[in-house]
Structure 1
Amino acid sequence: MVLEQYIQRVEEKLHLLVKKLQQVQAENVLLKEEVTIQQQALQQQQQAVQGLEERLQLMKIASTAQGGTTIAAEDDAFRKEIRGKINDYIKEIDRCIALLNS
């Protein structure tokens, strides 16, 4: 009799553990879905930020080209950056021309 009660208690505990396992697994699935959604949202926000940064850069270029004024220190840094980019573009164009000629 005592052995049967012991076995019954073990079975009850086992059933409880199985239920908890199923709950944890279901919660895990939901959390994984939420992580995926959050990652997609983050990626969209990063793309939006990148697009806005590119627009800001273009606006700075346009402003400088039109003779707009900016803060002196910012202007010098911006000009150096633009010169560097232009030099990179020229190097890339030269590489493309060299490839076309060969």
Structure 2
Amino acid sequence: MALEQYIQRIEDKLHLLVKKLQQVQSENVLLREEITIQQQALQQQQQSIEQLEEKLHLMKIAASTQGSQNVNTEDEAFRKEVRGKINEYIKEIDRCIALLNG
């Protein structure tokens, strides 16, 4: 009789362990899905940030080309940077034209 009770207790514990394993596995699946959703949201937010940074950069360029009267040192440095880039582009275009004509 004691052996049958011992076997029954082992079976009960085994069933309990199997049930807990299934719970943990289902929780793991849910957590993986949540991670995927969070990663997608993060990627969308990063894309949004990049787009906003690009818009800000374009707005600064537009403001610097309009020559507003309110010039601080940061704006002036940015204007010089933009003018330098424009000059670089013009030189590159001139080189390309010279190569095409040559």
Partner Cα distance (1:84, 1:52) in 2: 24
TM-score (normalised: structure 1): 0.75
Partner Cα distance (1:14, 1:56) in 2: 62
Aligned partner of 1:62 in structure 2 is: 62
Aligned partner of 1:16 in structure 2 is: 16
Residue segments in structure 1 that go unaligned for 5+ positions in a row: none
* Paired-residue identity, %: 75
What residue identity is the alignment partner of 1:44?
A: Q
User: SS where residue 8 of structure 1 aligns?
Assistant: helix
TM-score (normalised: structure 2): 0.75
Residue segments in structure 2 that go unaligned for 5+ positions in a row: none
**How far does the alpha carbon of each residue in 1:18-42 deviate from its partner, in whole angstroms, 9 at most, with x for none?**
0000000000000000000000010
Work out which of the two has the higher radius of gyration on C-alpha atoms and give 1 or 2: 2
Partner Cα distance (1:92, 1:32) in 2: 51
Query: How many aligned positions are there?
Result: 97
Partner Cα distance (2:84, 2:2) in 1: 85
User: SS where residue 60 of structure 2 aligns?
Assistant: helix
